Amino acid sequence: MNTENAGTPVGRLLAYLKSKMQTELTAAFSAGIIPMLNADTLPKLLLLAKPGDILQTAFWLDTGYGRAYKILYDKEGLPFERTIDFFKPGKIMLDPTAFFEGQPGNCYLEITKDAVIVPFTRENFNLLQLSAPEALTLANNILADGQKDGQEKMEMLKLPAKACYEAFKGIFGQGIEQYFPQKHIASYLGFSREYLNGLKAGK
């Protein structure tokens, strides 16, 4: 792998990609992908997609977090946001069915202000496969990694409340609470804000 990017967001993404392959990535892969990668720092919250959108860009989260949510309605007909997933740094955030199958998504996707990201489009993925066929195997390995993470989150949400909250911090890092209001974290965990505040206060 190219060492010029070591210590940079692009370099950390390349190291992550390398870690998902049992064999070395080819020189053709490195030569093909590096010109496609540029890091951006978000000056404000970035809304990536709404329900019905086909998001065909994947995002390496070097710092900052992503969130997936739906807008639901309470008994009085008032809208509220229900968080259905968070995405942590050091991972790739994408909507797999939109990216790989061109199918519309069913939720809102956003990335937090000040996050450092490296976008990668489906168009670039198609180009990369022409010179580096292992790109498809790598993509499948990344999807499998995401499914493993998803299973870990599902198991977390089955835990008793206090254990669930502790596991949440273990999975996402305590830093996540600096990026999102308590109501978003509470809705993901299935708690009320008041209950979450009580847990945090040790009650």
Degrees (nearest 5) of the Cα angle 125, 126, 132? Answer: 80
Establish how many alpha carbons lie within 13 A of residue 124's alpha carbon, considering only the half-sphere containing its beta carbon: 17
Q: What is the rounded CA–CA span in Å between residue 113 and residue 138?
A: 29
pTM > 0.95: yes or no: no
pLDDT (tens digit per residue) in 7-32: 899 999 999 999 998 888 888 999 99
Closest CA to 66 of 53, 84, 54: 84
Confidence of residue 1 (pLDDT cuts 50, 70, 90): very low
Sign of CA dihedral 32, 8, 15, 41: negative
Closest CA to 126 of 118, 136, 137, 117: 136
pLDDT for res 23: 81
